[in-house]
């Protein structure tokens, strides 16, 4: 969903003329006094407070690139159908949903539910051990992901039922609130599930700003890690290294809830393959390859998607802009920002870094950005654990969620959802789930007086 062309050219010019001094990775890098703090995505920032805040192309695309972005946008929205079909065929035979947009509403989070007609939640599955490349060990008969919808006449792999219970939480000051606790029940499997299987529920996350995250130099990300906790702040964090089936190399993980995918190319092609059953030059095998449902596939020789279609969608998610940081001079927002740093939320949610040089996209190149993530995985405690390892990320580890745009979820989604499975209904609930390496920060948050807790939330709402 493209929006009106941006009017921030002035800001763009200011930013590009300011990035010449790239500082080392230290506290000084967060000093915004010489910069416009609203530019969360540098030159790839867009000023729009509406339901389409996540759906705007980065400024400065050539007319031709805008057309590719628009084609990718249309394919992102497109509902695919069963083969044979003259266009947009090849869906399934089993899948999770029929379009990208059904899981990434307005390019933001999806809605956490499991339905017979498609879900934005999906369930990964594996058995103990690893595959040949150190990744999750596929479950025999099910692969790495449970497809809970089937084409007409095709039994889906499983049905997943989600139930939520309320768990009361009492702040040290006596205020009582409630947390939503999800639990999942897998029934009606088409064949017995293997012994010892492990699952991981994940909700389709926002897809904007990813070209910038793809362009952060590896050295920057690795410098955030503190595996031995040398600074004694209780936060370690480490990079995930994952297998890229296209380059056939092990690479730094950047995308997915556990940094379990290295590039947008693989992320998008694997979404087509696993979530929708559509093959491409990057992922040429049907998701049901080697399974009984392969008998429903009439032609497994040609790929379902033309190369240009996959490439356009990759281009689309690579070139979605970041919404601007708002209300930056509001005293409550400023107070919340200060507390965010004092509580060391910024120890994981790193405010500032620079992207590397990108000759193809000036708006992504050499930008000072504020994603509020370190791109590393951290132990987040038992409450959030899925207990299913994913490459080097353990069953308690998750990638630090980028917080840019987190204040726009109500606008983009209507009802907002937070965290890897969408369990949190408010920003405060999301914070209260933090444990493990984030326990200290979370305890400090809980101990704040209510007005300060509100200030922290107000700060996050301004991102």
Nearer to ligand HEC, 15 or 95 (CB): 95
Minimum CB separation of residue 390 from ligand HEC in Å reads 8
Nearer to ligand HEC, 295 or 387 (CB): 387
Cis peptide before 93 (omega within 30 of 0): yes
Distance (Å) of CA 27 to CA 24, 347, 372: 9, 11, 14
Q: Look at the block and give the residue holding tokens 């969360």.
A: 40
Alpha-carbon Rg of the chain, whole angstroms? 22
Give CA–CA dist 81/70, Å, rounded.
Answer: 21
Minimum CB separation of residue 63 from ligand HEC in Å reads 23
Nearer to ligand HEC, 52 or 102 (CB): 102
Nearer to ligand HEC, 16 or 395 (CB): 395
Give CA–CA dist 303/277, Å, rounded.
Answer: 11
Which residues make up the interface to ligand HEC (CB under 6 A)?
76, 96-97, 100, 102-104, 119-120, 122, 202-205, 207, 210, 235, 255-257, 260, 264, 267-268, 271-272, 275-276, 313, 317, 340, 343-345, 347-349, 378, 380, 384, 398-401, 403, 406, 418-420, 427, 430-431, 434, 437-438, 441-442, 445, 456, 460
Burial of 368 (0-12, 13-18, 19+ CB in 10 A): buried
Contact indicator for 390, 135 with CB cutoff of 8 Å: yes
Q: Look at the block and give the residue holding tokens 């101990």.
A: 447
Q: Look at the block and give the residue holding tokens 């107000």.
A: 458
Q: Name, in order, each residue with C-beta under 8 angstroms of 368's C-beta and a sequence gap of 6 or more.
A: 15, 18, 19, 35, 39, 42, 352, 353, 354
Nearest CA among 96, 118, 86 for reference residue 306: 86
Minimum CB separation of residue 302 from ligand HEC in Å reads 18
Give CA–CA dist 363/42, Å, rounded.
Answer: 7
Q: Name, in order, each residue with C-beta under 8 angstroms of 306's C-beta and a sequence gap of 6 or more.
A: none
Nearer to ligand HEC, 364 or 456 (CB): 456
Nearer to ligand HEC, 296 or 316 (CB): 316
Minimum CB separation of residue 88 from ligand HEC in Å reads 12
Minimum CB separation of residue 368 from ligand HEC in Å reads 20
Nearer to ligand HEC, 61 or 320 (CB): 320
Minimum CB separation of residue 401 from ligand HEC in Å reads 4
Nearer to ligand HEC, 271 or 324 (CB): 271
Minimum CB separation of residue 342 from ligand HEC in Å reads 10
Nearest CA among 206, 241, 228 for reference residue 376: 241
Nearest CA among 101, 102, 3, 100 for reference residue 53: 3
Give CA–CA dist 284/274, Å, rounded.
Answer: 11
Minimum CB separation of residue 301 from ligand HEC in Å reads 22
Contact indicator for 408, 249 with CB cutoff of 8 Å: no
Nearer to ligand HEC, 76 or 354 (CB): 76
Tokens of 351: 């405010």
Give CA–CA dist 152/253, Å, rounded.
Answer: 37
Other CB atoms within a 10 A radius of the CB of residue 46 amount to 26
Nearer to ligand HEC, 39 or 91 (CB): 91
Minimum CB separation of residue 413 from ligand HEC in Å reads 11
Contact indicator for 101, 162 with CB cutoff of 8 Å: no
Minimum CB separation of residue 438 from ligand HEC in Å reads 4
Minimum CB separation of residue 10 from ligand HEC in Å reads 29
Nearer to ligand HEC, 99 or 366 (CB): 99
Give CA–CA dist 429/422, Å, rounded.
Answer: 11
């Amino acid at each position: 969903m493209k929006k009106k062309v941006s009017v921030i050219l002035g800001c763009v010019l200011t930013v590009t003329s300011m990035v010449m001094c790239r500082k080392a990775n230290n506290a000084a890098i967060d000093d915004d006094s010489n910069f416009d703090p609203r530019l969360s995505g540098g030159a790839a920032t867009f000023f729009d407070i509406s339901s389409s805040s996540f759906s705007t192309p980065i400024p400065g695309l050539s007319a031709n690139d805008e057309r590719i972005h628009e084609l990718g946008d249309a394919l992102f929205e497109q509902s695919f159908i069963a083969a044979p079909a003259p266009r947009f065929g090849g869906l399934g035979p089993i899948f999770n949903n029929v379009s990208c947009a059904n899981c990434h509403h307005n390019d933001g989070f999806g809605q956490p539910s499991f339905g017979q007609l498609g879900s934005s939640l999906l369930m990964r599955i594996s058995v103990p051990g690893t595959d040949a490349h150190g990744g999750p060990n596929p479950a025999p008969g099910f692969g790495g992901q449970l497809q809970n919808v089937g084409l007409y006449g095709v039994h889906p792999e499983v049905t997943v039922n989600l139930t939520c219970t309320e768990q009361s939480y009492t702040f040290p000051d006596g205020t009582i609130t409630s947390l939503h606790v999800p639990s999942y029940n897998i029934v009606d499997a088409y064949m017995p599930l293997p012994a010892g299987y492990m699952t991981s529920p994940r909700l389709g996350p926002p897809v904007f700003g990813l070209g910038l995250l793809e362009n952060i130099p590896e050295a920057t990300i690795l410098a955030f890690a503190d595996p031995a906790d040398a600074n004694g702040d209780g936060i370690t964090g480490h990079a995930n290294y994952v297998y890229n089936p296209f380059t056939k190399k092990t690479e730094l993980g950047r995308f997915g809830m556990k940094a379990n995918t290295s590039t947008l190319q693989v992320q998008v092609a694997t979404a087509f393959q696993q979530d929708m059953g559509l093959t491409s030059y990057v992922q040429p095998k049907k998701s049901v390859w080697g399974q009984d449902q392969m008998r429903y596939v009439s032609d497994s020789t040609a790929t379902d998607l033309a190369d240009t279609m996959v490439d356009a969608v990759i281009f689309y998610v690579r070139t979605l802009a970041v919404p601007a940081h708002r209300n930056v001079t509001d005293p409550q927002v400023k107070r919340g920002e200060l507390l965010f740093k004092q509580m060391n939320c910024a120890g994981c949610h790193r405010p500032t870094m620079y992207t590397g040089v990108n000759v193809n996209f000036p708006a992504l190149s050499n930008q000072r950005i504020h994603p509020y993530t370190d791109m590393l995985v951290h132990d987040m405690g038992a409450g959030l654990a899925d207990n299913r390892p994913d490459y080097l990320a353990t069953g308690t580890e998750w990638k630090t969620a980028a917080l840019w745009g987190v204040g726009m979820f109500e606008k983009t989604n209507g009802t907002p959802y937070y965290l890897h499975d969408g369990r949190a209904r408010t920003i405060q609930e999301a914070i209260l789930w933090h444990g493990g390496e984030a326990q200290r920060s979370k305890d400090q948050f809980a101990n704040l007086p209510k007005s300060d807790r509100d200030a922290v939330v107000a700060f996050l709402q301004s991102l």
